[in-house]
Amino acid sequence: MRAVILDTGPVVGLLSEDDEHHAASVAAIKASGRRGRKLCTIWEVIGEAYTLFRMRYAPARSAEPALVVLRWARESGIELLHTDEADHQRAAGILERYSQLRLSYVDALLLAAAERNRVEELITVDMRHFSTVRLGHRMTVTRV
């Protein structure tokens, strides 16, 4: 699939000008787009990004900054890949095989979805984790 899949860090970086990864996230996404890659992620990443915005950026009584993530997911044109039972099984296998890494469940699920869809590139802030995992196809990992 001629696509780039976003991890949570670059989603947060893209949507928050205050995030330390903002400029690098925007630059990496634009560069991938120039290579003809479609932007995608999974709903679980959107959920993590929502939670990060809600806990870090939103005033105690306002969810508005976090709701920006959900609006972006619905309105930006990003393709939201659905995960299925096979992806969850593959994620569990990745976590077992690479138990020495500090992969989250969402990280492993993102890798499983990327593998199933044969995504060409993954953009992340966690290069060390993602570049170690071997998938069934070759995928470029870009760190921002």
Does residue 59 carry a pLDDT above 80?
Answer: no
Average pLDDT, the chain: 94
Residue 87 lies in a domain: no
Provide the domain limits for residue 64.
3-82+95-100+110-143
Does residue 76 carry a pLDDT above 90?
Answer: yes
Does residue 11 carry a pLDDT above 90?
Answer: yes
CATH number for the domain including 77?
3.40.50.1010
Residue 14 lies in a domain: yes
- The pTM (predicted TM-score) of the whole model is 0.93
Burial 121-142 (b: 16+ CB within 10 A, else e): bbbbbbeebbeebebeeebebb
Q: How many domains does the chain have?
A: 1
Residue 31 lies in a domain: yes
Residue 118 lies in a domain: yes
Residue 90 lies in a domain: no
φ/ψ region of 33 (left if φ > 0, alpha if ψ in -120 to 50, else beta) reads alpha
CB 103 within 8 A of CB 45: no
Does residue 72 carry a pLDDT above 90?
Answer: yes
Q: In whole angstroms, what is the distance from residue 121 CA to residue 42 CA?
A: 14
